[in-house]
Amino acid sequence: MTSSLVRRRRLRRASPPAETALWYHLRDRRLAGVKFRRQQAWGPFILDFFCWEQRLAIELDGGQHFEAMTEAYDARRTAFLRRQGIRVLRFSNDQVFNQRRAVLAEIARAVGVEEPSP
């Protein structure tokens, strides 16, 4: 078993609450009938959520992502993904908890749907 697979499985089992909350809405094609994968490997990175059909990555950021070193890492990561033809949406954990409808609406627009299904 590859170390990436082991790491992805560990991340899925120990998902932060914000990831668990968003995954509820993305799994089983619940959002606009679009399939998302959780903890998808891409190059040297593991993406929080990924839609192959749309080449769309969704990343959730906790408090540590707003520190200078982590912001620089995230910027390099996003640039790498964009060079691979992947669009990246980033949301803070707070947005997932406090503005969930707006987060889901933005994801729906990114996959070409005006409003997410309830």
At residue 6, what is the residue type? V
Domains of the chain, CATH where assigned: 3-44+53-110 (3.40.960)
Q: pLDDT, tens digit, for every residue of 34-90? A: 999 999 999 989 999 999 999 999 999 875 545 567 788 888 999 999 999 999 999
Distance CA(92)–CA(95), nearest Å, equals 5
Residue 2 is predicted with a pLDDT of 64
Residue 68 is predicted with a pLDDT of 65
Residue 62 is predicted with a pLDDT of 79
Count CB neighbours of 98 within 10 A: 10
pTM for the whole thing? 0.82
Residue 65 is predicted with a pLDDT of 47
3-state secondary structure string, 88-103? EEEEEHHHHHHCHHHH
Residue 70 is predicted with a pLDDT of 76
